[in-house]
Amino acid sequence: MRDETSRAPERFSSEINAFIAYLQLERGLSVNTWQAYQRDIDQCADFLARRAPTSDWTSVQAADLTAWLHHLSAGVLKSSSLARKLTAVRVFFRYLVREQRRADDPTSLLMGAKRQRRLPGTLSGPEVERLLRAPTGGDAFALRDRAILEVFYASGLRVSELARLELSQIDLEQGYVRVFGKGSKERIVPLGRRAAEAVQVYLSAGRPHFVRSKKTGGQLFLSERGGALSRVMLWVLVKRYAQKAGITQTVKPHLLRHSFATHLLGGGADLRSIQEMLGHSNISTTEIYTSVSPDRLRDHHARFHPRNKAKGAP
């Protein structure tokens, strides 16, 4: 359902409402994703209404959208934020054209800020080991938190995916987890022996401590009150244990996802397999990890280039 706290002017809102419904029902986008689209398009609509009080989406021209982008550029927004907002408006106008609500797409003439591709941060192998050992003791909280960290690193899940993880999605005997990612796309990700063992111990000796008959559903990881752990709580847990492990850089759940991919690539995994495990729809998104392991590139050059093969290499 569309967020009714939106401030889009009334003459712009009906098309936005229909677009948000399309994102929810046909595209199956997550709440966070469609709400981000909504905020950006509402912001654009508010600017356009002030620029031309009688306009609506059918009369918007490229010059109007260029003025909006210039207005945003005058603020403190990063180029990545400008690029995201322009993407949202582009998708929206393509939808309007496809639905025959207007004949042309004014965004086709726009040149936006180029999004800078930042290399993802990563943890070293020793840092990961210290982090995974940080939850000490045998109480229910330690067992839960150890399992959470092991699953994060073993599977490369997004924090939202791990927060939603249910018991039915885990197959400890086969050693995999069934994940529903962006757009409700399903993928199968191996857990690995250590993560599977940590989850098994948590299920046997930890999770029963958190179960509350009236509140507990089928979620795998439970809070002290018996409900699902929130994304914020998972962030807090990861940060707390990173500090305990003596890791100086800022550690967020996504850093474990980056480390998962980088370490797999460094160990010889192929990019397509990593793409599948991460749930990336486009291989270009996964290719960024090839930039963070120069040692692997040098090793491959030494092993496979005919003028640089190490002695004994095949």
User: Is 301 a known active-site residue?
Assistant: no
Secondary structure of 207-270 in HEC code, one letter for each residue: HHHHCCCCCCCCECCECCCCCECCHHHHHHHHHHHHHHCCCCCCCCHHHHHHHHHHHHHHCCCC
Residue corresponding to tokens 């990700």: 189
The pair of three-digit structure tokens given for residue 37, joined into one six-digit string: 């689209």
The catalytically annotated residue of 39, 84, 182, 209 is 182
User: Is 254 a known active-site residue?
Assistant: yes
The pair of three-digit structure tokens given for residue 5, joined into one six-digit string: 């706290």
- Classify residue 51 as left (phi > 0), alpha (psi -120 to 50) or beta: alpha
Separate counts of helices (H) and strands (E) for the chain: 14, 3
Single-letter code of the amino acid located at 102: R
DSSP string across 10-56: HHHHHHHHHHHHHHHHTS---HHHHHHHHHHHHHHHHHHHHHSTT--
Burial category of 87 from C-beta neighbours within 10 Å (exposed 0-12, middle 13-18, buried 19 and up): middle
What is the number of alpha carbons within 13 Å of residue 43 lying toward its C-beta?
17
Q: List, in order, residues 6 or more apart from 201 with CB less than 8 Å away.
A: 143, 146, 147
The catalytically annotated residue of 51, 178, 254, 296 is 254
The catalytically annotated residue of 85, 146, 158, 258 is 158
The catalytically annotated residue of 37, 202, 241, 289 is 289
The pair of three-digit structure tokens given for residue 148, joined into one six-digit string: 């959470």
User: Is 303 a known active-site residue?
Assistant: no
User: Is 101 a known active-site residue?
Assistant: no
The catalytically annotated residue of 2, 257, 258, 263 is 257
Single-letter code of the amino acid located at 172: L
Residue corresponding to tokens 């550690």: 251
Q: Kindly report the CA angle at 74 between 72 and 80, in degrees rounded to 5?
A: 55
Catalytic residue annotation: 158, 182, 254, 257, 280, 289
